[in-house]
Amino acid sequence: MGIGYAITAGSGTAGFEHTVLSVDEMKQTGGLIVDIRTPPEWAETGVIDGAQLVTFTDPARFLAKVGPTLADGRDLILVCRSGSRSEAAARALEGRIPNRIISVAGGMGKVIAGGYQTVAPS
C-alpha cells in the first residue's frame, strides 16, 4: 500500500488500516472513496474526483447512506482533513460491516500537498 504506517485491526480482509495513499492508489483498490469532511471544508479545498461526500456524524447515519454501495464487498476508503476523523470513523465502523476500511493518514492535506488537483464539490 502507501508510504507510512498502517494500524490494522481485525482479521482477514475486514478491520481497518490507517495508511498514506495517493489518489491513484485509492482508485486502484476499486474501493468506495468517501470524503467525510463538512460541506464548508469541501468548498474550501475541493474534493477528490469521484468521491462520495458524506459527513460522518455517527455510524448508523453514515451506513444508511453508503452501506448499499458496499454490499458488493469493496473496500471503504475514508478521507478527512488530516486523518484524525477518518481514523476515528474507521474505529467506529469496525465490526459493523465486513468490508476492509482504509483511513487515509494525512487526509486531504497530504493529498493536496502531493500535487493532486481537486475538483469542486457537486
Q: Among 8-22, 49-63, 85-99, 100-114, which is the least confidently predicted range?
A: 8-22
pLDDT digits (tens, 9 = 90+) for 31-49: 999 999 999 999 999 999 9
From first CA to last CA, the distance across the chain in angstroms is 29
pLDDT tier at 16 (50, 70, 90 boundaries)? confident
Domains (range + CATH), the chain: 15-113 (3.40.250.10)
Closest CA to 52 of 89, 75, 77: 77
* pLDDT at res. 3: 35
- The DSSP string of the chain is --SS----BSSTT-EEEEE---HHHHHHTT-EEEE-S-HHHHHHH-B-TT-EE---S-HHHHHHHHGGGGTT---EEEE-SSSHHHHHHHHHHBTTBSSEEEEETTHHHHHHHTT---B---
